[in-house]
Chain A
Amino acid sequence: GENVEQHPSTLSVQEGDSAVIKCTYSDSASNYFPWYKQELGKRPQLIIDIRSNVGEKKDQRIAVTLNKTAKHFSLHITETQPEDSAVYFCAGPSRDTGRRALTFGSGTRLQVQP
């Protein structure tokens, strides 16, 4: 997407290790940052999101952190399991649509090695 950059494009970790995926954005007025997980051949599904009035949000083994000053946000997965293997996308409001649509990062393929 034109507003969100994501890296790395691929990430391989051992089961039980942590994984971190980072996204940067350019629109300082952006205020909503979701993360989607897409398993092979399936549709993207929301796993966690954060709004700009908080710096961190956790849900069991996953967490998202937001640094508004630096304009980046990150997905953290702890104690990774094989079922975490998927493609993960960050997203943010698209400035070109008046923030009425989401623009997505290019995705990170996470592989958890048993």
Chain B
Amino acid sequence: NAGVTQTPKFQVLKTGQSMTLQCAQDMNHNSMYWYRQDPGMGLRLIYYSASEGTTDKGEVPNGYNVSRLNKREFSLRLESAAPSQTSVYFCASREDGSMNTEAFFGQGTRLTVV
């Protein structure tokens, strides 16, 4: 039982390049999330998927797209990376976002855009 798994762990991109961050959970959770973490700013919600087949914007969605591929997988895509997207990205899942349940986090992806 691996929980939430993210790939890659580290990535360096040049400005304008694109990439997809992958996330998978094996807990049969309905809800999945992407957050970014910047120093002094906590965790900010980028996009979320309350259930399979749905996606919605969070607090900071500009420059990102997401795909809920199936119940297990939720990917985050940067189409044209910018230095402002340098951050640590965390994927998380919950049994059901509408219930008061624990969020489980992946190990994070440290992205640097130069």
**A residues near B, CB below 8 A?**
1-2, 6, 9, 31-32, 34, 42-46, 49, 51, 89, 91, 94, 96-97, 99-107
Contacts and interface: CB of A to CB of B under 8 A. Distances in A.
22 contacts: A1-B43, A1-B45, A2-B59, A32-B100, A34-B102, A34-B103, A43-B90, A43-B105, A46-B102, A51-B100, A97-B48, A97-B56, A99-B98, A100-B31, A100-B48, A100-B56, A100-B97, A101-B97, A104-B35, A105-B42, A106-B40, A107-B40
Nearest to A34: B102
Given A32-B100, A46-B102, A1 B107 contact: no
Contact of A44 (B50, B56, B90, B100): B90
Contacts of A31: 100
Interface of B: 31, 33, 35, 40-45, 48, 50, 56, 58-59, 90, 97-98, 100, 102-103, 105-108
B42 A107 contact: yes
Nearest to B43: A104
A43 B97 CA distance: 19
A32 B100 CA distance: 6
Q: Which 6 A-B pairs have the closest CB atoms?
A: A32-B100, A100-B97, A43-B105, A104-B43, A106-B42, A104-B42
Nearest to A94: B45
A43 B102 contact: no
A102 B100 CA distance: 10
B98 A100 contact: yes
B59 A96 contact: yes
Contacts of B56: 97, 100
Nearest to B103: A102
Given A1-B59, A100-B31, 17 more contacts: A1-B45, A2-B59, A32-B100, A34-B102, A43-B106, A43-B108, A49-B100, A49-B102, A94-B45, A96-B58, A97-B97, A100-B56, A101-B31, A102-B45, A102-B103, A104-B35, A104-B44
A21 B97 CA distance: 25
B45 A97 contact: yes
Contacts of A49: 100, 102
